[in-house]
Amino acid sequence: MDLSGSPESQGFEEVRAARPGPSRPGAANISIDFTTRHTLNPATGQPLGEVPVSTQEDVNTAVQHARQAFKTWSKTTYAERGKLLAAYADAIEHHLEDLQNLLVQEQGKPLGLAGIEFGVTLRWLRAFATMEVKEEILDENDERTIYQTFPPLGVCGGIVPWNWPILLGLGKVAPALLTSNTMILKPSPFTPYCGLKLGEIAMSIFPPGVFQVLSGGDDLGPMFTEHPDIDKIAFTGSIETGKKVMMSCAKTLKRVTLELGGNDPAIICEDVDIAKIVPKIATMAFMNSGQICMLIKRLYIHEKIYDEFRDAMVAFTKTIKTGNGFEPDVMVGPLQNSMQYEKVKDLYAEIGKCSWKTAFGGEIQEAAQGYFITPAIIDNPPDDSRIVTEEPFGPIVPLLKWRDESDVLERANSGKTGLGASVWSRDLARAERMARQVSAGSVWVNSHFDVAPNVPFGGHKWSGIGSEWGQTGLKAYCNSTSLWLWKKVFED
């Protein structure tokens, strides 16, 4: 698809439009001049609907509403808030079919995967609705009691990427609201539609100002991070942007949680059942067109089984269907936007330039209407090649050989990322021993990319700061107060 040179070359365009303002009883209709923009369906190149481009004034207004709402919301109980979160999950479920279709149109992922993302998000909302951060008694005697309490932070801003926007969005909103904060969510400029719809649905559930959604362009994120009256930013996105977010938040000493990029290794030992694990491993490499932070991005295979494993992986990958997410049996949809498409194309161009051997050559489908690239498997490239050291965020994965346990652990731990990692072996003691030596926020034995609402999720090194989910994640939306209560000071 050639959109180069067109205003839509980044995958969206902006237009100024005079629109009638909202009609209120007793007030004349007003006309407001505001900017809208739209994105393109990545599978067809067709424009999607118009959404607002929020301004600094809109951010200020939303923050004021959130601050006002915080006064009463922070006085509600866990039970009251949990009930509303559960009601919100029900309300989303009521619109599920439309929302899943919208997600396929704006994000490109296959319909089944859109169903999985929404299904997981609903489970998360319902699980958070039952969770609580309990205050603790740290010490107690006749004279005094010392409590640790966990009051909310205040107004939070959630900033979300385009690859997994529903879970990563509401996976921030639910813990923030449950712990009695208010939140303003900012979807990615590439995928604003479901986020706005979820904000609209929330209006019928939560009190005004408790949860708001603002869409906009590239300048909207900095308006959040710079705002003096936002207390915390929960950010998911690239390492590069994460660093900017942290620098910006430092000016007002905002709390920050950063969930950033990964380059997950999977270490395959020589004793595995190849036929059993290859379908799962290939799926965990190519799902969502490789555009998930915690997919398998480097596969270290023991030399004794390397050839057999490679051939089985190629045989499975040949069965993977690439296409429009609405077509049946598609596993690999389009890349989400032109920027990502160009990045992955550039990496595929390296195959020829660097003489990497391909076990399975991917194809860039230039003639297609959308941003389609089929999966590629690179056969034992050098450890310092881009395909090993960079996060591709596309359907391409390198296979690498290993012989020595300590050597493969060193290679797995090399580089600046540490998001997820896995070790695969029948020998659980050996696999656990190896897993404990990998530096990553989540490490799995005989699995990859398992997550749960009660389990913390985060990254080591440049893959992030802090955690989301679980008690650790809930506490990241709280201050800590040590409350010393002296009981006998005024006793005679």
User: What is the set of active-site residues?
Assistant: 259
Q: CA angle at residue 251 from 250 to 257, to 5 degrees? A: 30
Binding status of residue 161 toward ligand NAD by CB under 6 A: yes
Give the per-residue contact string, 271-300, with ligand NAD (x = CB under 6 A; - = no): ----------------------x-------
CA distance 329 to 319: 10
Instruction: Choose between 35 and 380: whose C-beta lies nearer to ligand NAD.
Output: 35
Is residue 76 a contact residue for ligand NAD (CB under 6 A)?
no
Nearer to ligand NAD, 237 or 466 (CB): 237
Handedness of CA 300, 301, 306, 310 (dihedral sign): negative
Residue 412 CB, shortest distance to ligand NAD, in Å, is: 18
Which amino acid is it at 212?
A: Q
Position 82 contacts ligand NAD (CB under 6 A):
no
* Alpha carbon distance 484, 144 (integer Å): 7
What's the gap between Cα 364 and its chain centre?
Answer: 26
In the complex, least distance from residue 278 CB atom to ligand NAD, rounded to whole angstroms = 24
Secondary element (H or E) of residue 204: none
Question: Using an 8 Å Cβ cutoff, are 312 and 277 in contact?
Answer: no
Amino acid at site 1: M
By CB under 6 A, residue 344 contacts ligand NAD: no
Q: Which amino acid is present at 52? A: P
Site for ligand NAD contains 222 (CB under 6 A):
yes
Given 67, 197, 244, 386, the residue binding ligand NAD (CB under 6 A): 244
Residues in CB range of 416: below 8 A, 6 or more apart? 239, 461, 462
Establish if 54 lies at the interface with ligand NAD (CB under 6 A): no
- The reply to whether 237 sits near ligand NAD by the rule CB under 6 A is yes
Q: How many whole angstroms separate alpha carbon 5 and alpha carbon 473?
A: 43
- List of residues 6+ apart from 149 with CB closer than 8 A: 135, 480, 481, 483
User: Whose CA is closest to 160, among 45, 82, 90, 238?
Assistant: 238
Does 106 bind ligand NAD (CB under 6 A)? Our answer is: no
- Pick one of 209, 259, 409, 473: the residue that binds ligand NAD (CB under 6 A): 259
Residue span binding ligand NAD (CB under 6 A) among the ranges 133-141, 158-166, 205-213, 396-404: 158-166
Count of residues in contact with ligand NAD, rule CB under 6 A: 30
Kindly list the residues in this chain that would bind ligand NAD in the complex (CB under 6 A). 159-164, 168, 186, 188-189, 218, 221-222, 225, 236-238, 241, 244-245, 259-262, 293, 391, 393, 419, 459, 464
